[in-house]
Chain A
Amino acid sequence: MSLPPFELLYQRHRDELYGYMCARLAREDAADAFQETFLRALRTYERLEHARELRGWLFTIARSVLADRGRRAATRPVEVPAALADTSAAPVGADSAAHTADDPSLAELTQGLPRKERAAVVLRYGFDLDYDDIGAALDSSSDAARQATSSGVRRLRQQLTPDAESSGERKPASRKVGHDTGTC
């Protein structure tokens, strides 16, 4: 089956893909990621060997764009203003992750973590990627990504509430985070 004209593919999926980005990023970042996704798609479109699963192909590119942005965000040095340096009042662990990807508090909160754990936590809770995609972004497996995320969250809990950890106090149950946080 030959490839459809790119314009038709673009028209068919652009709104859905823009919504996907908006659910994960602030408006300006969503616009950049949207463009980057379709530009990457155009760069490789001719090399596709068949026209099956084109929507899935586009969303794979979209996740890869998000992963790249997450990786850059996770490794970007963050200067924490004095007023924000005291993070003791911040929410804790996975519960704390209800931030949009552009929310600087997640980058700040995680800056003390080892590099891989930090990247995993940011990709999971800032960009809402699943563990397969995080593994791909970090050149490791899905299990390793889950483990790195889990270790990062555990370490954050220890850093932020050392008393609670040592006293064995139970934390509130974690909730699923990172969905529909967009601002488009």
Chain B
Amino acid sequence: MTQVPAELDAEFRRHAVQEGLFDVSFGIAESPVGDLLLATTQVGVCRIAFDPDPERQLDELSTLFGSRVLGATEPLEAAVAQLDEYFRGSRHAFELPLDLTAVTEFHRLVLDRLAEVPYGTVTTYAELARDAGRPRAARAVGGAMNRNPIPIVLPCHRVVGADGSLTGYGGGLPRKETLLTLEGVSL
């Protein structure tokens, strides 16, 4: 079968983006914690996944944001650049528009508080629950962290157990450890 030349494939994707013909655009970015799948809507970044296999992510993105899901890197350039700066240590805060329309109100509230946890520090699930105005919801906060759609940018790796243990992480504990070490947190 005749294969579509790479240049033509790229040109089609570029034209589609220029015309705004996408609900979600996604791409793969390399990082010190492994390849990441990044996705953005026209509103902002909507997904960072440690599992870079698009097939496993696309169905969910399509259901949440619309079926015009297209691989295209242009809309992700700012996110890729800022992540690169973060991993090089020159960026301590992200300035990216985010699309959190697919999360519940409580989840959103927790993520908003999470976004305020400074670089190089940690907080606990209980503190975050208190900050979110739900002091008895530490366990629910843990669940919300586990379902964080935009890890790293929304720093759920900075949330630890009351005794200082790493407890858990959606991307696996070794990644959490790497990210905290990168930020200079002594474990």
B77 on the interface (CB 8 Å rule)?
A: no
Interface centre among B4, B26, B69, by most chain A C-beta atoms within 10 angstroms, is B4
Q: Is A35 within 8 A of B4, CB to CB?
A: no
Beyond A15-B2, A15-B3, A42-B16, is A6–B9 a contact (Cβ under 8 Å)? no
Interface centre among A22, A42, A184, by most chain B C-beta atoms within 10 angstroms, is A42
User: Which of the 9-residue segments B53-61, B93-101, B105-113, B118-126 touches chain A?
Assistant: B53-61
Q: Is A5 within 8 A of B2, CB to CB?
A: no
Q: Is A42 within 8 A of B21, CB to CB?
A: yes
In the complex, per-residue mask of B119-138: 1 if CB is within 8 Å of any chain A CB, else 0: 00000000000000000000
Q: Is A7 within 8 A of B58, CB to CB?
A: yes
Q: Is B4 within 8 A of A45, CB to CB?
A: no
A-B contact count (CB 8 A): 74
Chain A residues, CB < 8 A from B59: 4-5
Bound CA span A184–B62, Å: 34
B104 on the interface (CB 8 Å rule)?
A: no
Chain A residues, CB < 8 A from B71: 7
Beyond A16-B1, A34-B4, is A39–B21 a contact (Cβ under 8 Å)? yes
Of the candidates A6, A7, A10, A35, the one whose C-beta lies within 8 Å of that of B8 is A35
Q: Is A10 within 8 A of B1, CB to CB?
A: no
Chain A residues, CB < 8 A from B15: 35, 39
**Residue of chain A at shortest CB distance from B71:** A7
Beyond A4-B67, A7-B70, is A19–B8 a contact (Cβ under 8 Å)? no
Contacts from A to B (Cβ < 8 Å): 2-8, 10, 14-16, 18-19, 22, 31, 34-35, 38-39, 42-43, 45-46, 184
List of 7 A-B pairs having minimum Cβ-Cβ separation, nearest first: A5-B69, A19-B2, A5-B58, A42-B21, A5-B62, A3-B67, A18-B4
